Structure formats: C-alpha cells, structure tokens
Amino acid sequence: MSSDYLIVAALKDEMGHHFDELGVPVIYTGIGKVNAAYSLARELARREAHGQLPKAVFNFGTAGSPIFKTHELVECTRFVQRDMDATPLGFAYGVTPFEDIPHLLEVPKRLSRLPTGLCGSGDSFETGTAKMHCDVVDMEAFALAKVCHLEDMPFLSVKYVTDGCDHNAHNDWNENLHKAASSFVEIFEEATALFQRS
C-alpha cells in the first residue's frame, strides 16, 4: 500500500525516522524550487517507466506563517511563487511571463480537520513582510504542485508551522524542526485512507 503513494519532503530532518520504521519510502529533494521540481519529475518518470505511477503525491514539510500558530498543521490548497518578479515587463508580481499555467495553482481540500492556507514558495528564507500575501511560506511546495499539475497527478501538501516569518524565524525553525516529523505519520495514514475510499 505504501508504494501506491509518493511522499516528498525537502529534508530528512523534517521526517525524522518515523517513515523509515514504517517502511514507507520518502523522496528527499533538497531545499529550493529547482531541486524540488527536478527530484519529483525524475522520480515520476522513473516510476512511469516501470509502470508504477503513484495514486498521489504527498508533500510534508515545515513552513513559516504570519497567520497560523507555531506547531499548527495546515493543509495547503493554493500555491504561488512569492519570489517571481517580472513587474518590469508589465506582469503582476508572482506571475511567470509567457506561460498558460495559472500563477495560482489550486488542489482540492481533503483533510477536513485541518485549516487550509495559501502557500507561497520562494528561494529565500522569509524573515519579514512578504511582497505578496501568503498564509504560509516555504521553499518547495509551488514547484511540486506545478509538476503534479503538469503531470495530472493528485497532490496533497501539509505544512507544520515552525516559525512566524519574523526576525527570530531562523532560531524558531531550528528549534521546532524535529517536532514536525511525528505529526506527519498520522496525516499520511489519514490521507491514504481517503484516497483508498475514493
């Protein structure tokens, strides 16, 4: 059953040892949108070549938030690039020029007990006021959502809030990183049950 789903995370520290103990494979992409997009696309291509495409991609990871409380779990259902700036060319902030894909990607809400949020991904660690509104900020989810959008693959993203995107964010992230891992096992079991029923 576990091989029917693909878990993607940026860092092993975000997952701890919990999924290893369950025998559930996790793809670790490294930090940033390029690493995330490359790693997921490569793994989907590998699985497709073996006739083993997953039923869904699950992204678990940490995020900062100016809205949600530290230690809260948030299901991200909308995704933007918070660092895409082609405004000198006349495009709105966050819009990638000259492509047909929406600049705001949306996926269905699946976990009724979790709050939902707009996730802004960018290749920077946010420590202040963002240039665009985001409920949570990370460095990979938009890229993962975009690959899944292009490949017509169901996508679920849950973030554990480690910090408040403020001047102390780097310290809070380091302190709370290990606390995220245990939260994701329960979410994984809940999510797989939902997909099995659908």
CATH number at residue 79: 3.40.50.1580
- Where residue 167 falls among pLDDT bands split at 50, 70, 90? very low
Residue 190 contacts by C-beta under 8 Å, 6 or more apart in sequence? 111
Band of residue 16 on the pLDDT scale cut at 50, 70, 90: confident
Higher pLDDT, 182 or 80: 80
Query: In Å, what is the CA distance from 50 to each residue of 4, 40, 112, 140, 196?
Result: 13, 16, 34, 26, 22
- Give the tens place of pLDDT for each residue, 91-112: 999 999 999 999 999 999 999 9
Phi and psi angles of residue 159, each rounded to the nearest 5 degrees, phi first = -115, 140
Interatomic CA distance for residues 45 and 137, integer angstroms: 28
Longest dimension (CA), the chain: 51
| Segment 168-190 mean pLDDT | 71
Place of tokens 């678990």: 60
Across residues 116-122, what is the average pLDDT?
Answer: 96
Question: 6-20, 48-62, 165-179 — which one is most confidently predicted on average?
Answer: 48-62
Which domain covers residue 84, as residue numbers?
Answer: 2-197
143: left (phi over 0), alpha (psi -120 to 50) or beta: alpha
Number of domains in the chain: 1
User: Which tokens in the block code for residue 63?
Assistant: 């995020």
Q: Is the dihedral of CA 33, 177, 115, 183 positive or negative?
A: positive
pLDDT at 164 over 50: yes
